[in-house]
Each structure stands twice: as C-alpha cells, then as structure tokens.
C-alpha cells in the first residue's frame, strides 16, 4: 500500500516549527491539564484519572480567591480605561511633539523588572519612607500609609499594566482618520457627538484589545497582592503557587490553573463575541 | 449668462502658516447657484482656501462673507455648508443609509422621515434602494462617491464644497462622474465650489474657474476664457500642450523672438507690454506649402507623431525649438518622419501672455 498522506514541500518545511511548538508550547499546557486529573499529592502522570481535585476545589473556599482575582482585574481594567483614554487621546491628537517624550516615559519603566518597581513603590509609600517620611520631616504631617491595603494592590496593578492598555488605545485612536472626524463635524455634529458617533466606535478595536490584554494579565497578577498588599488578600494565582510549592500538591494546583484558564477563556470569548473586531474595522 | 446674486464673498483673505502665506490676499465673489472651480497645482493653497470656506481653518486676516454676513469665526458644524472630502471620509462602521442620514440624525429627525429622505437622495444619485442597509465599505469606488455626495446633500447645505473627490478614481469612471456631478448641480440648483489640480476636469463642469498659484488667484473666468484667453504663461500651460515662444515687443509693434529669425505677427501688445510669451494652441498650427499661406510660418523637420484618439499630434523641430501641432484624425497629415515641413499660424490665433 502506498503512503496515505503525501507531504508537499511546504508541509515538510513546517515540520520543525510544528515540533517546536508541540514540545515548547502545547506539551506543558497539556501536561498541566492532564496533571489536574491525577490523585492529590502525587507526582506521577500515570495514575488513573479522576475529578477528585475539582471536587476538592468546589468544596473548599477557593472561590473567594477566584473572586478576588477577577474582581481586582475588573477594577484594574476599568481604572486603566479611565486613565488611559485621555492620555492616549492626548498622545495622538493634542501633545504634538511632546507625544514622543511621553510615550518614552511610559515605555522606559518596562525595562525594569516588575518586582523591583513594586519594591520601589514600597520604599516610596512605607511609613517613614520617601513620601510619608518627607512629609513628616518637612511639614510635621503624620499620615497613615496606604501600603498593605486593597488600594495599594490596585495602585500596583494599575501602575504595572498601564502600558498594556495605553498603547493599544493609542493605536486605536490613531486609526481614526482626521478627515472622518472633520466630516462628522462639518455635517453638524458637536464635539461630543463626533466623539460618541465616530471616534469612540472607530477606536474600539484598540480599546477592546487593551481591555482583553490587561484583563488577562491582571487576572494572572500575583506580585502586586504579595508585595503591595502584604498578603492581605490571596488571589487565585497565589493559591496556585502555594499548591505547587508549600503544599506540594501539584494535581490540585494544576486543577486550579485549569479552572482559571477556563474562566478567563470563557470571559474573553464572550467579550470577543460582543465586540466583533472585524465589524468595527468595517470588514463586515 | 445673467448676473447672479453673490452668495459667498472673500475680502483679502490671507492664511499664514509660520512665515509662509498659504493663501495670499484673495478677493472673490461666488454667485448663487454657480459651479465655481478653483484649479491649481499641489501646494498652491487651494485646499487651505477651501478649508477656510468650510470653517475648518480660520483666516489670518480678511473676511469671508456668506450672503453678506461675516462667518470667519463660525465653526464648520454651524455653517450651512458641507464638504465632500478627497478621501470621501465615509463612516466605515455605518451602512449606506446611516451615512446618508448622519446629519439628519444629529438634527434629531424621526427615523422614518430620515429614511424617506435617504431613499429620495439615493434615487437622485442612482444608487439602488437595496443598498440602504449595505455596509458602506462594501461599495465600489463610484458608489462610495455617490454615498458621500448624498450624505452632503442630506445636510441641505447652501453651498457644497468638493476637495478633489475624483482624483483617486480611474480615468473612465472619473469622466462619467464629472458629467454626473454637473447633472446633479443642474438638478439641485445649489452652489458648488470645487477644487482640483486638473484644469481639464474643471473645464467639463464649471461655470467659472479660478486658477491659483502660490497662494494667489491669478485668473478668474469662464472655461472658454481660461482656455482661449489666458493672461499668463502659467495659466496657458495648465491644460494640454501649448506652444510658447518667448518674445520681445519691437518698436514697430512686431514681436521678436530670440530663437526664430523672422519677426512674428501677433495680437497688438497692450500698453506697457515689453516682453512676454506668444502662446499658440497646437490645433491652430497647420502644415502649409508656402510662407504666404499664413501670417507666420516656420520650417522644420517632422520629428515624431502621436495618436491621441480622435486627434493626431505631431512634433516638429525648428532648430532647438519644438513645435506641437494637432490635427483631427480625418485631417491627418501625410508627411513622413524626417521630412522638411512648413508650419504656420495666423496672428488672430495666438495669445500674448506675461510670465
């Protein structure tokens, strides 16, 4: 019998990359998924699969951590949207030659590790630190530090994920041609109507991408709660870390990770169905 | 043509960008219901001028009057004028119907009234009614032109401005749309102010044409005047090929050219005119046998010929100078390339212009 599948030159050339993706990308993910069906506190991949870990999770209080993670991520995204849209608008339309400098200022912190930047905030905000210490010695003011509160966690998250909202938004706004805005204005629309009817819908692709990007990143956040929140709140990512390290319960950690992926995946798909990027771009 | 009442009046309008006068002291009256076209090469300031008329740019000095009222500071959204943009600037996230109805929706008109008006305009512009719900980005180039025009007409402007809307369209469709636009002008009786870099396009459509150069309006006149009586070399060279001979006025009223040995007979030079150019359109040149058959003649070598559809163009070299002669296909010249030929023209067919 002849070979069933005749591979063309293109398919053959793609094999190395395909193998690389399978080993480097798909395999670890599949391993985590498979691990979540293994018996608790084991390290073997060859036991009989069961849903025991999931049952444990649903009987536990893990949902609190899930809610914290999703809630913090949602609030972060909303705060980022409110902060970034005006800034992005300014970068594209108002600041002119200063836009480049501003963009750089927002980019440079990305070159420094997230943890180092968060510890920088600690030094800045801690009691007798840069901010409160200075206020005390110069003005004699003694204020409570906001460190190790929910506000501090949000501050850290907004700070860390700001570029991921800002740059897609900047791109989205710059995609609105100025003649299109002029046309709406010329047809009698007020500045606000031009914004609502033309600029906002046409910059939607950038906004939606910014939302998705920051939400997915923020749900996976862990350092902010640990460092700036002083472990006052335990997000789901922290639970997963505990399961994999301190508790040495890999299958439970894997099950938590799979659940998180499912929740985030479903939310993202729902958002993408609601905001059809192709439609915004006028392709449909 | 009967004199029209003035609808739009420009009084020494200037626009300075930095140290550059993009628009320099323009005085112009545009009549009610007129199709007025401003022609100029890119960078001549015509777009800046149009943006000032539409309210998207403020003049540095001078006044713009609409029916006698100063509108310098009236923003675009409060002017009873509307613009069709070069890019058309259609709203890509809206349907054909929503695009056309945009200004009506802004004005707060009822949905069914809006739709009735949109369909009426679509009829006028020969857009099928089924297109009402069609995504505007799915329309062809010509259809988009019509949607943009319908959208502007729905605003019911007193003046419609056009910023080279046909420049990106292929030749054949452009020719159709030019005529269509002129028909729409006739149909709607509105004032159209159009800008383009193509004098040919302007000729087809306009009642009057203003030619711009480096921010200044160098000549205003009917298409016929611009074609047959240009006042400057710049205007004469703006459409098609022309023969331009630099000349000096001699004492006896004859014109002397440096490159041709015989004095030329041309129009009587105006008072004070000492040097300039003699312009002869290629269709006024003819092949002749003897010098006595025309007021002026030169002999040269037939260098090449080009078929231009209904006409044939000949290149005749006289010393260093190149002459362009055009004949209708039916009156094709039968000479062979490199033949010695004599070409001539009459004084009345030449125009004297300044630089």
ipTM: 0.85
Model confidence pLDDT, tens digit, residues B35-54: 999 999 998 999 999 999 99
Cα distance between residue A20 and residue A40, in whole Å = 31
Ordered alpha helix ranges (H), chain B: 46-54, 96-106, 111-124, 141-154, 171-188, 199-205, 223-228, 233-236
* Domain covering A62-280, topology: MetI-like fold (1.10.3720)
pLDDT at A4: 61
Answer whether residue B173 shows pLDDT above 80. Answer: yes
Q: Is the model more confident about B311 or about B1?
A: B311
Task: Tell me the pTM.
Answer: 0.83
Answer whether residue B131 shows pLDDT above 90. Answer: yes
Model confidence pLDDT, tens digit, residues B315-330: 999 988 899 999 998 8
Query: Confidence class of residue B273 from pLDDT cuts 50, 70 and 90?
Result: confident
| Tokens 């939302």, residue located | A211
Domain definitions of chain A by residue range: 62-280
Domain definitions of chain B by residue range: 6-228, 241-353
pLDDT at A279: 59
Answer whether residue B336 shows pLDDT above 90. Answer: no
Give the distance from residue B82's alpha carbon to the nearest chain A alpha carbon, in angstroms.
Answer: 6
Which among B44, B74, B77, B40 has a CA at the least distance from the CA of B59?
A: B74
Length of chain B measured in residues: 355
Give mean pLDDT, residues B165-186: 90
Interface contact flag, B83 A182, Cβ < 8 Å: yes
Which among A257, A240, A247 has a CA at the least distance from the CA of A41?
A: A247
**What residues 97-126 of chain B have any CB closer than 8 A to a CB of chain A?**
102-103, 106-107
Q: Report CA dihedral (A239, A241, A242, A243) to the nearest 10 degrees.
A: 90
Query: Confidence class of residue B77 from pLDDT cuts 50, 70 and 90?
Result: very high
B241-353 in CATH: which number?
A: 2.40.50.140
Strand partners, B213: B216
Cα distance between residue A111 and residue A78, in whole Å = 25
Fold agreement (B6-228, B241-353): no
The DSSP result for A122-170, as a single string, is HHHHSTTSHHHHHHHHHH-------TTSHHHHHHHHHHHHHHHHHHHHH
Classify the C-alpha dihedral A90-A96-A100-A102 as positive or negative.
negative
Answer whether residue B90 shows pLDDT above 70. Answer: yes
B6-228 in CATH: which number?
A: 3.40.50.300
Neighbours of A82 (CB within 10 A): 10
Q: Is the model more confident about A118 or about B272?
A: A118
Answer whether residue B253 shows pLDDT above 80. Answer: no
pLDDT at B167: 86
CB-based burial, A224-238: b 16+ in 10 Å, e otherwise? bbbbbbeeebbbbbb
Nearest residue, CB atoms, A193 vs list B75, B76, B106:
B106
Q: What is the mean pLDDT of chain B?
A: 91
Interface contact flag, A198 B75, Cβ < 8 Å: no
pLDDT at A284: 44
Which chain A residue's Cα is nearest to B54?
Answer: A186
Phi, psi of B21 (to 5 degrees): -90, 100
Strand partners, B31: B6
Cα distance between residue A243 and residue A227, in whole Å = 19
Looking at beta carbons, which residues of chain B come within 8 Å of A206?
Answer: none
Q: Is the model more confident about B148 or about B2?
A: B148
pLDDT at B180: 92
Q: Does B136 touch chain A (CB under 8 A)?
A: yes
What is the mean pLDDT, run by run of 10 residues, along chain A of 284 residues?
A: 72 92 93 93 89 93 93 96 94 90 89 90 89 88 87 94 94 93 96 94 91 94 90 91 93 95 92 71 50
Looking at beta carbons, which residues of chain B come within 8 Å of A284?
Answer: 135
Q: Does B162 touch chain A (CB under 8 A)?
A: no
Q: Does B36 touch chain A (CB under 8 A)?
A: no
Beta strands in B181-285 (DSSP E): 191-196, 208-213, 216-221, 243-249, 255-256, 275-280
Nearest residue, CB atoms, B155 vs list A177, A188, A193:
A188
Q: Does B135 touch chain A (CB under 8 A)?
A: yes
């Amino acid at each position: 019998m002849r070979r069933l599948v005749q591979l063309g030159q293109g398919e053959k050339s793609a094999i190395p990359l395909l193998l690389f993706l399978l080993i480097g990308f798909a395999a670890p993910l599949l391993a985590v998924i498979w691990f979540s069906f293994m018996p608790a506190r084991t390290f073997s991949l060859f036991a009989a699969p069961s849903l025991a870990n999931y049952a444990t999770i649903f009987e536990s209080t893990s949902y609190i951590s899930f809610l914290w993670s999703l809630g913090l991520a949602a609030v972060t995204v909303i705060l980022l949207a409110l902060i970034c849209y005006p800034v992005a608008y300014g970068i594209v339309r108002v600041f002119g030659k200063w836009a480049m400098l501003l963009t750089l200022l927002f980019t440079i912190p990305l070159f420094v590790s997230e943890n180092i930047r968060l510890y920088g905030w600690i030094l800045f905000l801690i009691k007798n630190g840069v901010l409160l210490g200075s206020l005390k010695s110069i003005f004699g003011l003694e204020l409570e530090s906001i460190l190790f509160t929910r506000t501090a966690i949000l501050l850290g998250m907004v700070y860390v994920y700001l570029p991921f909202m800002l740059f897609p938004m900047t791109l989205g706004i710059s995609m609105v041609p100025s003649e299109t805005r002029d046309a709406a204005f010329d047809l009698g629309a007020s500045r606000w109507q031009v914004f609502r009817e033309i600029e906002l819908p046409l910059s939607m692709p950038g906004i939606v991408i910014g939302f998705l990007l920051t939400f997915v990143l923020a749900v996976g956040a862990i350092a902010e709660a640990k460092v700036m929140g002083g472990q006052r709140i335990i997000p789901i990512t922290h639970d997963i870390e505990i399961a994999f390290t301190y508790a040495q319960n890999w299958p439970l950690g894997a099950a938590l990770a799979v659940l998180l992926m499912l929740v985030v995946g479903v939310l993202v798909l729902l958002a993408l169905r609601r905001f059809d990027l192709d439609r915004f771009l006028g392709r449909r | 043509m009967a004199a029209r009442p003035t609808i739009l009046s420009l009084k020494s309008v200037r626009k300075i960008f930095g140290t550059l006068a993009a628009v320099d002291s323009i005085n112009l009256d545009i009549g009610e219901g007129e199709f007025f076209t401003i022609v100029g090469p890119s960078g001549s300031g015509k777009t800046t001028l149009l943006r000032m008329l539409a309210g998207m740019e403020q003049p540095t000095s001078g006044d713009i009057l609409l029916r006698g009222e100063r509108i310098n500071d009236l923003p675009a959204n409060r002017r009873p004028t509307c613009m069709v943009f070069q890019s058309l600037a259609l709203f890509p996230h809206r349907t054909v119907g929503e695009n056309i109805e945009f200004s009506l929706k802004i004005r707060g008109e009822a949905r069914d009234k809006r739709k009735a008006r949109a369909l009426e305009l679509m009829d006028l512009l020969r857009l099928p009614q089924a297109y009402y719900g069609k995504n505007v980005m799915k329309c062809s180039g010509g259809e988009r032109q019509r949607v943009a025009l319908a959208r502007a007409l729905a605003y019911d402007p007193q003046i419609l401005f056009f910023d080279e809307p046909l420049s990106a369209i292929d030749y054949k469709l452009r020719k159709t749309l030019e005529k269509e636009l002129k028909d729409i002008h006739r149909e709607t009786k509105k004032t159209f102010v159009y800008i383009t870099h193509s004098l040919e396009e302007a000729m087809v459509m306009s009642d009057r044409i203003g030619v711009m150069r480096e921010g200044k309006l160098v000549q205003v006149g009917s298409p016929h005047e611009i074609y047959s009586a240009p006042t400057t070399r710049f205007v004469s060279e703006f459409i098609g090929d022309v023969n331009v001979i630099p000349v000096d006025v001699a004492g006896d009223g004859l014109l002397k050219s440096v490159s041709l040995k015989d004095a030329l007979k041309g129009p009587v030079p105006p008072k004070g005119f000492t040097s300039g150019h003699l312009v002869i359109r290629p269709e006024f040149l003819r092949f002749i046998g003897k010098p006595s058959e025309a007021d002026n003649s030169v002999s040269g070598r037939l260098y090449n010929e080009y078929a231009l559809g209904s006409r044939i163009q000949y290149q005749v070299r006289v010393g260093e100078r190149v002459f362009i002669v055009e004949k209708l296909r039916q009156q094709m010249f039968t000479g062979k390339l490199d033949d010695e030929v004599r070409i001539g023209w009459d004084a009345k067919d030449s125009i004297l212009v300044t630089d």
